[in-house]
């Protein structure tokens, strides 16, 4: 099984005719994702690789019954694209675009919740349910269908850890990159319960990084509400306090957000934390008690 997306998901791509939109649309189509529409204002009525293009997301949803939108537009258009998607009637919005102002995301976050829309991102790689569908930029070739869920604040680190899991024969149910910005649409707290409720997810990998208190909050939820085995990796152990490391949210400030804080909190929740990414596969095998292939 999987969460959020599957073979039946119907995807509309915002920015389908742009450089990034066209490249990643082809990648999604090649993977088998049902991309049913694209949106580029002013290009309605055209087609992109047999995918109909519309001027607005509302028109695309009405005509094609799309239920998932992926945003692959330049940063200056992303906020408007997010609001348009949220108001279109889709159930899931995935924003790949980075550089969305945090202040803009305050309003976008509120609008998504008011409209009952699940938002993933911004500044994220999206998500994939291996063998079923991918909505985003994750490389499909490294994934394998299976029963381990993955949630991550880091994009490329997700790829490294997933490749390690796959190499050990450990397949994945759904892998989600939530994004590394200070304000994102869905947090660990939003997604952990979905994996907990999925009968075919047997274990969970939580990939975190320095900055904020998301991992500490996740540890509290794991201790009280999650009975499936969870293993973790925290990036940024050697980062100096006060220096931003890559992601906008990956900054230690006010004595909070250090790797040590997060590792300690996860330890209290009985979550093994890998010293290096390549240890995740071994930790998950041990947590599951059997090879999950």
Regarding whether 185 and 101 lie in a shared domain, the answer is: no
pLDDT (0 to 100) of residue 293: 45
Regarding whether 275 and 167 lie in a shared domain, the answer is: yes
pLDDT (0 to 100) of residue 246: 54
Domain enclosing residue 17, as ranges: 10-120
pLDDT (0 to 100) of residue 289: 87
Residue whose C-alpha is closest to residue 107's, from 127, 83, 85, 81: 83
- Is residue 2 included in any domain, yes or no? no
Per the structure, the count of domains in the chain is 2
Q: State the Rg of the chain over Cα.
A: 18
Q: With residue 205 as reference, give the H or E element that holds it.
A: strand 203-209
Regarding whether 146 and 104 lie in a shared domain, the answer is: no
- Is residue 281 included in any domain, yes or no? yes
- Is residue 78 included in any domain, yes or no? yes
Please say which residue of 120, 154, 174 terminates a domain.
120
Regarding whether 198 and 80 lie in a shared domain, the answer is: no
How many whole angstroms separate alpha carbon 61 and alpha carbon 65? 5
- Is residue 269 included in any domain, yes or no? yes
- Is residue 241 included in any domain, yes or no? yes
Per the annotation, the verdict on 247 as an active-site residue is yes
Regarding whether 192 and 70 lie in a shared domain, the answer is: no
Residue 20 CB burial class (10 angstroms; 0-12, 13-18, ≥19): middle
Helical H segments across 75-148, by residue range: 75-86, 102-114
Regarding whether 30 and 103 lie in a shared domain, the answer is: yes
- Is residue 3 included in any domain, yes or no? no
- Is residue 132 included in any domain, yes or no? no
Q: Beta-strand (E) ranges in 62-186?
A: 68-71, 92-95, 118-120, 126-129, 133-136, 145-152, 172-177
Residue whose C-alpha is closest to residue 17's, from 29, 44, 84: 44
Regarding whether 109 and 231 lie in a shared domain, the answer is: no
- Is residue 106 included in any domain, yes or no? yes
Catalytic-labelled residue, pool 24, 113, 143, 247 = 247
CA distances to 53, 59, 74, 88 from 16, rounded to whole Å, are 8, 15, 12, 17
We report the CATH number of the domain holding residue 248 as 3.40.50.261
How many whole angstroms separate alpha carbon 66 and alpha carbon 58? 10
User: How does pLDDT run along the chain (293 residues), one tens digit per residue?
Assistant: 699 999 999 999 999 999 999 999 999 999 999 999 999 999 999 999 999 999 999 999 999 999 999 999 999 999 999 999 999 999 999 999 999 999 999 999 999 999 999 999 999 999 999 999 999 999 999 999 999 999 999 888 999 999 999 999 999 999 999 998 999 999 999 999 999 999 999 999 999 998 889 999 999 999 999 999 999 999 977 656 655 555 544 454 444 578 999 999 999 999 999 999 999 999 999 999 864 44
Regarding whether 102 and 146 lie in a shared domain, the answer is: no
How many whole angstroms separate alpha carbon 190 and alpha carbon 47? 36
Q: Which two tokens stand for residue 7?
A: 């073979």
Regarding whether 145 and 95 lie in a shared domain, the answer is: no
pLDDT (0 to 100) of residue 156: 87
How many whole angstroms separate alpha carbon 145 and alpha carbon 169? 10
Put simply, whether the predicted model's pTM sits higher than 0.85 gets the answer: yes
Regarding whether 113 and 243 lie in a shared domain, the answer is: no
We report the CATH number of the domain holding residue 102 as 3.40.50.720
Q: Which residue has the tokens 């994220």?
A: 124
Regarding whether 67 and 22 lie in a shared domain, the answer is: yes
Regarding whether 229 and 144 lie in a shared domain, the answer is: yes
């Amino acid at each position: 099984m999987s969460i959020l997306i599957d073979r039946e998901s119907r995807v509309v791509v915002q920015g389908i005719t742009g450089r990034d939109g066209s490249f990643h649309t082809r990648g999604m189509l090649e993977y088998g994702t049902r991309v049913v529409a694209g949106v580029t204002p002013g290009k309605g009525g055209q087609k992109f690789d047999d995918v109909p293009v519309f001027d607005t997301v509302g028109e695309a949803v009405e005509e094609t019954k799309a239920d998932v939108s992926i945003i692959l537009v330049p940063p200056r258009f992303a906020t408007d694209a997010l609001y348009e998607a949220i108001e279109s009637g889709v159930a899931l919005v995935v924003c790949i675009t980075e550089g969305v102002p945090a202040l803009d995301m305050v309003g976008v976050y509120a609008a998504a919740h008011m409209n009952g829309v699940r938002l993933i991102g911004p500044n994220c790689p999206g998500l994939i349910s291996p063998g079923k569908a991918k909505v985003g930029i994750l490389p499909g070739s490294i994934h394998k269908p299976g029963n381990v869920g993955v949630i991550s604040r880091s994009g490329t680190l997700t790829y490294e850890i997933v490749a390690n899991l796959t190499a050990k024969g450990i397949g994945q149910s759904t892998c989600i990159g939530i994004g590394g910005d200070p304000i994102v649409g869905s947090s660990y707290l939003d997604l952990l319960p979905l994996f907990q409720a999925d009968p075919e997810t047997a274990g969970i990998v939580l990939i975190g990084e320095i900055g904020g208190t998301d991992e500490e909050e996740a540890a509290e939820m794991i201790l009280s509400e999650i009975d499936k085995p969870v293993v973790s990796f925290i990036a940024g152990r050697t980062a100096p306090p006060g220096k931003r490391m890559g992601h906008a949210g990956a900054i230690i400030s006010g004595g909070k957000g250090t790797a040590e804080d997060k590792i300690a909190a996860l330890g209290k929740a009985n979550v093994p934390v890998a010293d290096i990414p390549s240890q995740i596969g071994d930790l998950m095998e041990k947590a599951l008690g059997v090879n999950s292939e």
